[in-house]
Structure 1
Amino acid sequence: MTEQQPYRMVSRHPGFELRRYPAHLVAEMRVQASFTRAPMEAFRPLAAYVGGANRARQPVGSAVSTTSVASGSAKIPMTLPVVQIEGERPGAYLIQFVLPATVTAATVPEPVDARVRIHEVPAQLAAAMRFSGRWTEHAFSQRATMLGRAVTAAGLQPTGAIRYARFDPPWKPWFLRRNEVVLPVVD
């Protein structure tokens, strides 16, 4: 069973769920590329880190139940989702692998690749819209606009950058893929 980022659903609103996410760690990498290309550019360095290219030389969270995604001949423990956040300038993205919940700031291994950073995301309240389909910029952008309007209509105030979350491997048929747009809101 694949470990997924935990959250508690607070309430349902037209078009989205309001969720409370606990503080968690991510391995992240900044990428300058197109929306579609950015996750591909970051995948190998992030997957290598999670798979053991770190100072501890062990897979991150290897003691927990995670899925394995093939990368070449190696099996890489993964936690879902893989997150994409727009950067400060066009074509700049932050790609994040959510680390297993059992990994803490005290136990997380240091990356050997200087492009990979470990970041602690604080606990937050966020609106999330789930959808299936292709990983195109248009599909995510359309949902992000819909989510922003729904959040405002519900009387909530956005407080951070929208996150694009992918839960499935690229070989899964597009119509079965689970995707989400997530927008932090004022608590």
Structure 2
Amino acid sequence: MNPILKFASQLGESALSIVGVRTVEEPHYIRRPLTDRVEIRQYGSRIAAETTVTGEKQKALNTGFRRLAGYIFGGNHRDTEIAMTAPVSQSKEEIAMTAPVSQAGNADDGWTVRFFMPSKWSMETLPQPDDESVRLVTVPPQTVAVLSFTGDRSAAAVAARSEELRTTLQDNGIEAKGEITAWFYDPPWTLPFRRRNEVVVSI
């Protein structure tokens, strides 16, 4: 794409994101409501790029986000055999951003940040990350319970929503499997009341 057109497109997308208009792909799922606040979703297999960072939570998550952004914005390579020509050119491949961005973990084991890859990519076609701390993983099909919320997405807000999700599942006789994960769909500059945030757990 022409650099000027690409910049204009990115500028337009950034402006739309202020009011919560999303232009990126989301993983496909089948949903059914559990309560007026919680729904059950079935996701198929997906591919994600992920990295784990230790240390203080917010600093670790910021580091993880930057690592993954580096990968999708060109920090990758491809071991493809190409017929010998002159000149030889090597270019970085850019991968589209998707939503949501997933975060999970704890202070002892580290914090894992995950970007889901667009559906057009497979493990065979995705370029390998340049950064060895970034991994490509296959996320198996899963059924999850999801509580969506807007506004504040601080650690305290996520903890409160997570407790609400746990209580709702217990009240409905549903067993949670594993830790609750936070999913964020919007950049920090999105107006708080337009943000889409979710807490998610496998069931």
State the TM-score, normalizing by the size of structure 2.
0.77
Q: Is the 8 A contact 1:36 1:136 kept in 2?
A: no
Structure 1 counterpart of 2:178, from 160, 175, 181: 160
Structure 1 counterpart of 2:112, from 86, 94, 114: 94
Give me the whole-angstrom Cα distance separating, in 1, the residues matched to 2:55 and 2:165.
25
| Equivalence for 1:11 | 33
| Equivalence for 2:77 | 55
Identity, % of aligned positions: 31
Give the counterpart letter for 1:79 in structure 2: T
Deviations 1:101-137 (A, max 9, x none): 1111221211110110111110000000000012210
Q: Which runs of 5+ in 1 are unaligned?
A: 61-76
Deviations 1:35-61 (A, max 9, x none): 33332111221011111211133112x
Give me the whole-angstrom Cα distance separating, in 1, the residues matched to 2:34 and 2:196.
18
Q: Which runs of 5+ in 2 are unaligned?
A: 1-22, 79-91
Give the counterpart letter for 2:148 in structure 1: R
Which has the larger displacement, 24-33 or 138-147?
24-33
Question: 1:86-165 to 2 correspondence within 5 Å?
Answer: 86-87=105-106, 89=108, 92-165=110-183
Q: Is the 8 A contact 1:13 1:154 kept in 2?
A: no
| Pairwise CA distance, 1:87 | 3.9
| Pairwise CA distance, 1:163 | 1.0
* 2:177 partner SS: coil
Q: Is 1:170 matched with 2:192?
A: no
Give me the whole-angstrom Cα distance separating, in 1, the residues matched to 2:107 and 2:137.
18
Aligned length: 168
Give me the whole-angstrom Cα distance separating, in 2, the residues matched to 1:39 and 1:78.
17
| Equivalence for 1:71 | none
Answer with 1 or 2: which has the greater Rg. Answer: 2
| Equivalence for 2:100 | 81
Give the structure with the larger strand fraction.
1
* 1:168 partner SS: coil
* 1:114 partner SS: coil
* 1:161 partner SS: strand
